[in-house]
Each structure stands twice: as C-alpha cells, then as structure tokens.
Amino acid sequence: MILLVSPIDVEEAKEAIAGGADIIDVKNPKEGSLGANFPWMIKAIREVTPKDLLVSATVGDVPYKPGTISLAAVGAAISGADYIKVGLYGVKNYYQAVELMKNVVRAVKDIDEDKIVVAAGYADAHRVGAVEPLIIPKIARDAGCDVAMLDTAIKDGKTLFDFQSKEILAEFVEETHDYGLKCALAGSIKKEHIPILKEIGTDIVGVRGAACKGGDRNNGRIDRELVRELKELCK
C-alpha cells in the first residue's frame, strides 16, 4: 500500500521524503480539507522531491465551476504536480461531478497525458452537502479519471471510519478496481487504521495529521519518524 503524505511547505516535504513517503501531496489546510497551496510552493516541492517520487497537489474543496477548476488544475499541472486532486465539495450530484471532472481531465491531459487526475469525495459529505461519497468510483470512471478517493471534509477528529464502515469501504475499493482505477482513502487516518486499510485493499492511504507531531494537522509539523512508522505499517 502506497503512503501519501501531505506537507504544506518545503521543510515538511523534506521530512515526508526522509520518512519514506511514496507520494508528496502539497496541501494548504488553511483553505480546507483539500485546500490548494500556491503554484510556487508546488514548484518548490517538486524541485526538492526525488524524481522517482510523485508529487500530488490538491486544487481545493472546489465549487461547481468547471471552468475555474479546469484552470486551477492546469496551474497545478504546469507547476509540477504529477497527481491533480479535486475535492468535490460544491457539487451536489453525479451529473455536476462528471461534468466538472471531465473538463479537468481534458485540461490536464492536454498538458500531459501522463498526469494523474484524482476525483476526491468526502466520507462525511452529508455534513457539507457534497455529492454522495459512494458514487465517486462511477464519477471517476465516467469522467476519465485515474483515481477515486475518499477523504473527510471536516477535520474535527472524526475519522473516515466514523462515517463509512470497513465493509462499505471494501466495496468502494472493489468497485474502483472493477473500473480499472486506483483507489485512495484518507480522513484523519491513524496508525491503527493502516492494517484495516491494507486488508480492504486500497492502493493509496493519505495522511497528514498522523504524520504531524501531536497529531495536529493545522499547528503540528510533519515528522520523519512518524512518517517512517506509518510507512512500515503500509508494507
């Protein structure tokens, strides 16, 4: 299982790399769960990340504005991101989500067809009025995305498993794989969740809080030893 760790700056990225993270996911918690960081930060983190590691960038907890988000996705791609992650926060249904993600896929793949597009839903979508989480695999498939992901929208300590059962998540992973896509799961994941995620077969686990000192995703800093422990559990 691949470990994705979400730094906010170059120093944290170096800690994540030193700890053995497989994907360096540039994020800005000040702007939300999948808050977008700045183009220059994506570029700077790409420059310090070994070429054999992928850099991911979130373009935000996005509204239903396909043009705006397509432009943001291109910005992330040309800034150096290999993975472009879109948080489907302001889309209400399948049709809006597919329309938005189809345009993002077209925009990103026009830049470089090897770039990877991630459709990210929220396990706690009901708390923010976002699109139903369990249709994310279909949305990703029908929009031409490469990865279907679940995260949590509100970072209040509740985890992915407070909103979706292990059985439901296993079905989510299986359906995603049936469509030939990769699956990523996140949402205040703790060390003790890693074996469960391995068991249900997700390809990628995304973490920030658990990799930060004190478990605080907003005020804590990523620590290489915490990343190392998470990486060992992913093996």
Ligand X SMILES: O=C[C@H](O)COP(=O)(O)O
Adjacent-strand bridge partners of 207: 5
- Residue sitting closest to ligand X (CB): 206
For residue 182, state whether it binds ligand X (rule: CB under 6 A): no
Contact residue for ligand X among 28, 79, 188, 202 (CB under 6 A) = 188
Verify whether residue 43 is a known catalytic residue: no
Out of 27, 115, 182, 231, which one is annotated catalytic?
27
Q: Least CB distance from residue 159 to ligand X, whole Å?
A: 8
For residue 155, state whether it binds ligand X (rule: CB under 6 A): yes
Verify whether residue 27 is a known catalytic residue: yes
Buried b / exposed e over 32-64, threshold 16 CB at 10 Å, is bbbbbbebebbebbbeebeeebbbbbbbbbbeb
Residue with tokens 């059962």: 165
For residue 224, state whether it binds ligand X (rule: CB under 6 A): no
Contact residue for ligand X among 12, 15, 22, 25 (CB under 6 A) = 25
Fill in the amino acid letter for 151: D
Measuring CA to CA, which residue among 4, 1, 2, 50 is closest to residue 208? 4
Contact residue for ligand X among 102, 141, 182, 217 (CB under 6 A) = 217
Measuring CA to CA, which residue among 171, 142, 29 is closest to residue 150? 171
Q: Least CB distance from residue 188 to ligand X, whole Å?
A: 4
8 Å CB contact between 15 and 222: yes
Stretch that binds ligand X, among 9-17, 63-71, 204-212, 222-230 (CB under 6 A): 204-212
Spatial distance between the Cα atoms of 206 and 6, rounded to a whole number of angstroms:
7
Q: Least CB distance from residue 177 to ligand X, whole Å?
A: 19
Residue 30's Cβ-side half-sphere holds a number of Cα atoms within 13 Å equal to 5
Q: Least CB distance from residue 47 to ligand X, whole Å?
A: 22
Q: Least CB distance from residue 217 to ligand X, whole Å?
A: 4
8 Å CB contact between 91 and 130: yes
CA distances from 120 to 42, 45, 62, 86, 135 (A): 19, 22, 10, 6, 11
For residue 75, state whether it binds ligand X (rule: CB under 6 A): no
Size of the site for ligand X (CB under 6 A): 16
Out of 30, 51, 65, 85, which one is annotated catalytic?
85
Q: Tell me which residues are annotated as active site.
A: 27, 85
Give contact residues for ligand X (rule: CB under 6 A): 4, 6, 25, 33, 151, 155, 186-189, 206-210, 217
